[in-house]
Structure 1
Amino acid sequence: MTIAITGGHGFLGWHTASRLRALTGTDAVRLGRDDFADPQRLASALDGVDAVLHLAGVNRAGSDEEVEQGNVRLALDLAVALAHQDRPIDVVYANSVQAELDNAYGRGKAAAAALLASAVETHGGHFADLLLPNLFGEHGRPAYNSFVATFAHEVAAGRRPTVTVDREVPLLHAQDAARELLASVGRTERRTLDAEPRGVGEVLALLEQAHALYATRGEIPPLPGPFEVNLFNTYRAAAFPAMWPLSPQVHADNRGELFETVRAHGGTGQAFVSTTRPGQMRGDHYHLHKVERFFVVQGEAEISLRRLLHDEVVTFRLSGATPSFVDMPTLWVHNIRNVGDTELVTMFWADQLLDPENPDQYPEKVALP
């Protein structure tokens, strides 16, 4: 099945395209502003597409009218492109819980849903209308995607944001939203996605706790549940790559040296040690949720990482002469290579016990062809 994603280069679009790659090994047709600016180009982009996830939207503009009509216009452009195909194409719409409210954004999203439902049903396709709550996750844009993105970037930069109005906000991680969007392909339905209510002040406190433990000492904060893991990964994305690598305090005496490799404040964890011969490499995979640490104990290593569906590669050089470590951010492809002349000894740690049935590990090479 070929799936197109409008807004495919945005925050939710990237998360959804990444999840599709991870679980199916296929790439989405990612559509952006340039495609919508040219009706013929947009129609041609849908050739051979079986389903469209319509994630593109307008939530900020110069006026309320621009917000409302901007969402209607995007839906209309997509409806025209679908009509050019003259065949059934399923559409899943990333609507908003605000579609049930009387404000410019809500009215625009509701009108877009009605327009798309009619266009899809006319040609025999399935239309799923999913009402999304507030989303957060890795690589959200501060002061744009959510208050969580803003807080994460501010805290990671060592600043202290303030809470002006403390209230509970229903929050959903972008990967969980992507899971539901992909699961709705081929269905005719309208439903509101479940979210976890969390206080604005509570979120900030969790991020500040993570920063206090993680930024200078690399200690893992308490991760009692999926929300805390997702929030921590959001913070880690904001902190990467500026804070790496870290070197622990080394305690030495006549017996030798001792240093701490991981200190985790609660939760599960698993560690193992590997040896790697000169010139050999380990890794070339990525994770959706796992927190993972590479600690070079002996030898010379290069750790390379590339954000999924991006081209730029970040590389760190680590040496056992100065024991140090780098944590792998979620949704970044990574590997470690022995670039020295002697055996490389690396300790690996992950926050979760390995589940062979669901290892949260997806193969992909850091180096692009």
Structure 2
Amino acid sequence: MRILVTGAGGFLGWHTRVRLHARSQHDVVPVDRSAWPQLADLARGIDAIVHIAGVNRGSDLEVERGNVSLARDVANAARSAGSAPRIVYANSIQSGNGTPYGIGKSKGAEVLAEVAAAIGSAFVDVRLPNLYGEHGRPQYNSFVATFAHAVARGETPQVTDRTVELLHVQDAAQTLIDALTTDDVLVEPGGTATTVAAVYRMLQDFAALYATGDIPQLAPGLPTNLFNTLRAAQFPDRYPIHLTPRSDPRGTLTEVVRNHGGQGQTFISTTKPGITRGEHFHLRKVERFAVVGGKATISLRKVLTDEVVSFKVTGDAPVAVDMPTMWVHNITNTGSDELTTIFWANELFNPEDPDTYPEPVQR
């Protein structure tokens, strides 16, 4: 399919594009604010529109009218596409709740449903709860992003406790992707019920353990996703993680991973001079590299960007570098001797769901 994604540069838009990039062969046409004037042209011949762009800042009138205006622009683009594209709408559980945002999102849904009916296409209204995850903007995308960045920097944010339902942004992205083929008109994915204070405590506990390189107990779902959110907020400033060699007359011992529960898998590799390993990324997996012999450069690039971070490492002073999710990574032997590396991942390798997506760091 050829899929146009609005709001492509935003939090949910980027995650949706990353997931499509990793798990499908669809041709994605990204539209952000700079490309909005060309929306109608970009929509020509499109098979589907995933409308994520929205307005959640400004005066009450700007928020309400802004969301309706965006929906009308998308509706006009769908009419002129010449291909009756399916329309998937990233709506909110606040839709219709009487707030300016809820009113604007609800009216936007009406606009898009009407145009889908007029052009003989399908419309799917996806009502999302509060989203959180890696690379959210603090003070903007969610309180989780604000807390993660504060904890990563040793700051204390204001915590006003309440019950909240949280959906990881990659799960939201998958819901939007599933809506490309569903027969449902309304989709309401459920999140995880928790509290604001509980999220803050979990992030604090994770940060306290991780400050020394220890890996906390990572239950599936919210705990693992929050830990990955914290790691993203710390990257690259808090890396590499310095390991502490302990020596005696017999030699030296260095702890590479201290895991406080859950499964995990450790393996060791040797790499000849000039050879590069890796060249892939993960959507959920926690993976650690630790060079214990030789010299290497570990390089990472944020998916769908040209942003590259590199670390020079040596077995003479072992450090750990943990790969943030959705960053392509590799390791290259830059020395004249054989490179020895210990790799650790927080889950057992499953060939049916490896969570490993090949891609070179250098594009």
- TM-score norm. by structure 1 comes to 0.96
Aligned residues: 362
User: Structure 1 residues 27-36 or 196-205, which shifts more?
Assistant: 27-36
Q: Give 5+ residue unaligned stretches, structure 2.
A: none
User: Identity of paired residues, percent?
Assistant: 51
Partner of 1:106: 102
Partner of 2:168: 173
**C-alpha deviation, 1:226, in angstroms:** 1.5
**C-alpha deviation, 1:119, in angstroms:** 0.6
Q: Give 5+ residue unaligned stretches, structure 1.
A: none
Give yes or no for the alignment of 1:33 onto 2:33. yes
Whether contact under 8 Å (1:76, 1:115) holds in the other structure is yes
Partner of 1:71: 67
RMSD: 1.0
Whether contact under 8 Å (1:67, 1:105) holds in the other structure is yes
Partner of 1:279: 274
**C-alpha deviation, 1:262, in angstroms:** 0.2
- Out of 314, 325, 328, the position equivalent to 1:330 is 325
Q: For residues 88-111 of structure 1, what are the alpha-carbon distances to aligned partners after superposition, in whole Å with 9 as ceiling and x for unaligned?
A: 100100000000311100000000
Q: Which amino acid in 1 is paired with 2:30?
A: R
- TM-score norm. by structure 2 comes to 0.98
Partner of 1:2: 2
Q: Distance in 2 between matches of 1:26 and 1:294?
A: 32
Whether contact under 8 Å (1:86, 1:123) holds in the other structure is no
Give yes or no for the alignment of 1:155 onto 2:136. no
**C-alpha deviation, 1:230, in angstroms:** 0.6
Partner of 1:189: 185
Give yes or no for the alignment of 1:308 onto 2:303. yes
Partner of 1:356: 351
Give yes or no for the alignment of 1:46 onto 2:43. yes
**C-alpha deviation, 1:70, in angstroms:** 0.3
- Out of 79, 87, 97, the position equivalent to 1:83 is 79
Q: Which amino acid in 1 is paired with 2:343?
A: F
Whether contact under 8 Å (1:17, 1:27) holds in the other structure is no
Partner of 1:227: 222
Whether contact under 8 Å (2:132, 2:169) holds in the other structure is yes
Q: Distance in 2 between matches of 1:219 and 1:212?
A: 9
- Out of 56, 60, 66, the position equivalent to 2:57 is 60
**C-alpha deviation, 1:305, in angstroms:** 0.2
Q: For residues 320-345 of structure 1, what are the alpha-carbon distances to aligned partners after superposition, in whole Å with 9 as ceiling and x for unaligned?
A: 01011100000000000000000100
Q: Which amino acid in 2 is paired with 1:125?
A: S
**C-alpha deviation, 1:212, in angstroms:** 0.6
Q: Which amino acid in 2 is paired with 1:21?
A: H
Partner of 2:117: 121
**C-alpha deviation, 1:26, in angstroms:** 4.1
Q: Distance in 1 between matches of 2:209 and 2:331?
A: 25
Partner of 1:11: 11
**C-alpha deviation, 1:312, in angstroms:** 1.6
Q: For residues 223-248 of structure 1, what are the alpha-carbon distances to aligned partners after superposition, in whole Å with 9 as ceiling and x for unaligned?
A: 12221111100110000000111221
Q: Distance in 1 between matches of 2:96 and 2:255?
A: 52
Whether contact under 8 Å (2:266, 2:342) holds in the other structure is yes
**C-alpha deviation, 1:27, in angstroms:** 4.6
Whether contact under 8 Å (1:173, 1:230) holds in the other structure is yes
Q: Which amino acid in 1 is paired with 2:56?
A: N
Partner of 1:258: 253
